[in-house]
A and B are shown apart, each in its own frame.
Chain A
Amino acid sequence: MFQPELETMPSEALRALQLDRLRTQLRRVYDNVPLYRRKYDEAGFEPDSLETLGDLKRVPFTVKDDLRAAYPFGMFAVPLRDIVRVHSSSGTTGQVSVVGYTRGDIERWSDLMARTFACAGATADDIVQVTYGYGLFTGGLGAHYGSERLGAMTIPVSGGNTARQVQILKDFGVTVLACTPSYALLIAETAASMGVDIRSLPLKVGVFGAEPWSEAMRSQIEDALGITAIDIYGLSEVMGPGVASECRHKQGLHVFEDHFLIEILDPHTMEPVADGEQGEVVFTTLTKEGIPVIRYRTRDISRIIPGECACGRTFRRMERVTGRTDDMLIIRGVNVYPSQIEQVLMGIPGVAPHYQVVLGKRGSMDTVEVQVEVGPDFAFDEIRELESLQRKVAGAIASSLAVSVDVKLVEPRAIQRSEGKAKRVLDLRREGE
């Protein structure tokens, strides 16, 4: 553990710390950010009136559009001279939002990312290859500072040039790889085509995040690279990576609750759900100075995993995020996340772990085509074998997700590989309009 005294804090002390920090934070945003002052005044919320953490439900929400409307610096809570760094959201959906960090924010973020690497089992003895993109995206620099803070030897490769990534992994004896899960698979594929046996390298753990992925994909990655794959979570509006991380037990992601307050709310009523039930994740930053967010609606769906973790950390765990409400597809009235399709595909021998969902229109009817690559080991000499594979995929999707889709088998590597976030959904419906 990187900060054991904090990470194993008794929960009563933790709640007291959270309340204390929350009260300070509310006062600060009310005094320094016009948007919060206006919202709170309109809602009749008096920032000093908060007595318990339960009172949080009286506080108005912050949404992505608030940050977009404040573009670029409208939600900063400190003068620009106190900001030492800016990043922006990766623009997964819509227009970007800009976030600013004070020197203190960078310090805390470095600690939190060091915690994340330590959660994955990394120490100062490790060699960390950071393959998240460096730049406005929070992934690269966030991981970089954390890895350095931990004392690990840090290799700032950034994204791209996969053959070089493989070469460095091999030549430098890299032990920890930080990148998106889909890129980890591309690295494995590239290594194989270069004749490098990636499983025999010193690489032992992957710190993977920035896109939703399934448990089945984890097994695939662990098997292909011969490593332990750890899921990490964060978003630029809240801070970047380092908001929550799995430990070696891989039973949910510990939320770093001394810095972030997590709520799970029913997305329709916006009332809290019971621990263990799914809902929208809402975060409040407790220590952020540059751009604090209060009750920020992430649109990510998760739940709190009840019970204690064997690792000894007292921070509660959130379940891996299966999808963002923005990514959710509504297929003839049924809600489907791309990661659910992925989970189904991974269970079918004969198809490769690469897929794309193409949405189109036939007349007024929405069509959904799932393109999957024929696996390298599938003996497809006979057309009927291929047709039966196609039916099997469509049948498995229909039975587990209750939607019917067209399945198209494509050649290996026909689906575009991503060096950052994988593009799982291609929506062609707009183009025809």
Chain B
Amino acid sequence: MVEQLSVFLANEQGRLARMCRLLGDAGLNMHALVVADTADYGVARVICDRPHTARGVLERDGFAVSVTRVIAAEVPDRAGGLADVLELLGNEGVNVEYLYCFLKPDAATAVDILRVEDAVAASEILTRAGVSLLHASQVYEPDAV
């Protein structure tokens, strides 16, 4: 399981840039970013290094940030790769709230980030079926303990 930041963004010029700049200045690299938007506001979902440090950096600047636990699944980079994974979950009645994916530059697999209601149960289903799930340290630099 990995940790994702959800950042509330007013629909105003420069807010996303400000968020990225703060993370950049703190030396926190982003590995994936997706923005869900409505007419008035958006929510940026970010996979980045040291998520709890990143949360602190953003909150000190007035951003509303929450940390969400999501599943990072390694999916073969070929036609139908994701469909297999989703069918596994669908057959077990697991509903996916949202999903996005990114490619690691040097790998033959894509990483899919899945947000489901019961992440523990979904992880078990996938592991049982032989899908490889990534740990935090395989995706980003975790916070120092």
Contacts and interface: CB of A to CB of B under 8 A. Distances in A.
Contacts of B62: 411-413
- Of the listed residues A375, A381, A409, the one surrounded by the most CB atoms of chain B closer than 10 A to its CB is A381
A411 B98 contact: no
B64 A376 contact: yes
B45 interface: yes
A12 to B, nearest CB: 59
A414 interface: yes
Interface residues of A, number: 19
B2 to A, nearest CB: 14
Contact of A381 (B6, B9, B38, B63): B6
B109 to A, nearest CB: 25
Nearest to A407: B40
Contact of B64 (A378, A382, A387): A378
B54 to A, nearest CB: 15
Given A374-B8, A386-B43, A411-B8, A381 B64 contact: no
Contact of A409 (B15, B36, B41, B115): B41
Interface in B5-50: 6, 8-10, 15, 36, 38, 40-41, 43, 45
Contacts of B9: 411
B40 A408 contact: yes
B92 interface: no
Given A411-B64, A412-B64, A381 B115 contact: yes
Given A387-B38, A411-B64, A412-B63, A380 B43 contact: yes
Nearest to B9: A411
A380 B6 contact: yes
A411 B59 CA distance: 11
Contacts of A411: 8-10, 15, 41, 62-64
A48 to B, nearest CB: 64
Contacts of B97: 382
A57 to B, nearest CB: 53
A378 B66 contact: yes
B60 interface: yes
A378 B43 CA distance: 13
Given A380-B64, A382-B98, A414 B43 contact: no
Contact of A380 (B8, B60, B98, B115): B8
A383 B43 contact: yes
A375 B10 CA distance: 14
Given A411-B8, A411-B62, A412-B62, A381 B68 contact: yes
Contact of A374 (B59, B64, B98): B64
Interface string B44-74: 0100000000000001101110101000000
Contact of B10 (A381, A383, A386, A410): A410
21 contacts: A376-B64, A378-B64, A379-B68, A380-B8, A381-B6, A381-B66, A381-B68, A382-B43, A383-B38, A383-B43, A386-B8, A386-B38, A408-B40, A409-B41, A410-B10, A411-B9, A411-B10, A411-B15, A412-B62, A412-B63, A414-B10
Ranked 7 nearest A-B pairs via Cβ:
A381-B6, A381-B68, A413-B62, A379-B66, A411-B10, A412-B64, A374-B64
Interface of A: 193, 374-376, 378-383, 386-387, 408-414
Given A410-B41, A414-B10, 15 more contacts: A193-B60, A379-B6, A380-B43, A381-B4, A381-B43, A381-B66, A382-B97, A382-B98, A383-B36, A386-B8, A386-B38, A386-B43, A408-B40, A411-B62, A411-B64
